[in-house]
Amino acid sequence: MSKLTRQQLVDLAVDKYFGNVDKKNMDAVLACMNEDTVVTIQTDHLDHKGIKGVRKMFETLFSTYKKTRHYGFEVTADAENQTVATRFNVTLEKPDGTFDPPMKNCNFFYVENGKFRRYVVFMDGTSVLP
């Protein structure tokens, strides 16, 4: 597969990935990833490996929170190296309608064959991706 353009990389991270996380659309979220993807939660020194591991991570997130909202993106994309860096805000609404403290997080994505091969998450506050 040819390399993604800068705009395609931005769309993959912001619209296809985070947009579907906020919709709790598991199939669309996982469609952004290679089968052997690795998600590292750097602030917890934790890896989620492969689609099964990532699915479990999102099942926990989706069942813990009524709504998630990722917004205020600052994005840098490098088409030559197929990488995307995102800085964004997150709000998390619990089932009872209360909210966790808002966070400012960063993700660093490495793309191969048009999908995430690996990404690293830095969270401001307690990790919600155990």
Structure tokens at 86: 């995102």
pTM: 0.95
What pLDDT digit, counting tens, does each position of 4-38 carry? 999 999 999 999 999 999 999 999 999 999 999 99
DSSP for 75-115 reads EEEETTTTEEEEEEEEEEE-TTS-BPPPEEEEEEEEEETTE
DSSP letter assigned to residue 124: S
CA atoms within 13 A on the CB side of 128: 24
Q: Which residues contact 96 (CB under 8 A, 6 or more apart)?
A: none
What pLDDT digit, counting tens, does each position of 70-88 carry? 999 999 999 999 999 999 9
- The alpha carbon of 119 is separated from its chain's Cα centroid by a whole number of angstroms, namely 8
* Overall fold of domain 6-122: Nuclear Transport Factor 2; Chain: A, (3.10.450)
Q: Is 112 within 8 Å of 36 (Cβ atoms)? A: no
